[in-house]
Amino acid sequence: MNDYRAELKKTTSDTTKAQNVNLFGVDFQLRREGNVCRISIQATAAVELALVPNSGSAVHLNGGAALTANGLHTFELYLDQSRTWNIQTPNAAGITVEFCTVVEAQA
């Protein structure tokens, strides 16, 4: 049996953001290298999402394809622990998020 611990990093609901604007007011950072970042998000429209680090290239979720409108999407990624991260959309119309959580979990 795995010893599984999770730490909530960020959560938001009913939030609207413009193109290339951070979803969260403060970036998040993983505490331990090798831990998994689990992102669950539901948006009201089909939009692209990217994890944006404080330095370096963005990580495009869903292979850069738009998420399904009103669908709940969950992604698990290994992120560089030395960077801070946030979520943005490159879509010109911006994004309205119904629900979003970011959790750090022991891999």
Select from 46, 44, 54 the least CA-distant residue to 22.
54
- Mean pLDDT over residues 13-17, rounded? 90
Select from 103, 107, 106, 89 the least CA-distant residue to 28.
103
pLDDT digits (tens, 9 = 90+) for 77-94: 999 999 999 999 999 999
Domain annotation for the chain: domains and CATH numbers: 24-105 (2.60.120)
pLDDT digits (tens, 9 = 90+) for 24-60: 999 999 988 888 999 999 999 999 999 999 999 999 9
Partner residues linked to 73 by β-bridges: 41
In this predicted structure, what is the pLDDT of residue 5? 56
Cα angle, residue 95 at apex, residues 53 and 55 outer, rounded to 5°: 10
Whole-angstrom distance, CA of residue 82 vs CA of residue 18: 27
Partner residues linked to 52 by β-bridges: 86
Whole-angstrom distance, CA of residue 104 vs CA of residue 96: 23
Q: Report the sign of the C-alpha dihedral through residues 60, 64, 70, 72, in that order.
A: negative
In this predicted structure, what is the pLDDT of residue 107? 73
Is residue 2 very low, low, confident or very high in pLDDT (cuts 50, 70, 90)? very low
Number of H helices, E strands in the chain: 0, 7
The pLDDT of residue 17 is above 70: yes
Q: Tokens 């939030």, residue?
A: 15
